Amino acid sequence: MINNPSHPKKGHLKSRSCKFSRAGFEYIDYKNTEILEKFINDQGKILPRRVTGTSAKHQRMLATAVKRARFLALMPFVTENMR
């Protein structure tokens, strides 16, 4: 790939590293709702990888943990202002 500094988006891309990899997480626990809530938007939807910067492995574990926490009523499926 040719590096063109005059291209509007080529020079402004940031490389993100996974927050879970940096913190040394091996497993994302569904009972830790404080961490899970950081990866959910105001409607209660799980944020995508391209927004959060998590790795594919940790994004899958995050989605599973959020779904388990919702099922056990530790987290809401929909936020209060949407009901």
What does the DSSP assignment read for 13-56? PPPP--HHHHHT-SS--TT-HHHHGGGB-TTSPBPPHHHH---H
Residues found in the chain: 83
Domain that holds residue 68: 18-82
What pLDDT digit, counting tens, does each position of 44-78 carry? Answer: 999 999 999 999 999 999 999 999 999 999 999 99
Global pTM reads: 0.77
Per-residue pLDDT of 9-50, as tens digits, reads: 665 556 678 899 999 989 999 999 999 999 999 999 999 999
Could you give the number of structural domains in the chain?
A: 1
Q: Count Cβ neighbours within 10 Å for each residue of 33-57 and write b for 16 or more, e otherwise.
A: eeebeebbeeebebeeeeebebbee
Q: Is residue 35 part of a domain?
A: yes
Residue 79 pLDDT class (50, 70, 90 cuts):
confident
Check residue 80 and give its pLDDT.
75
Domain of 69: which CATH number?
Answer: 4.10.640.10
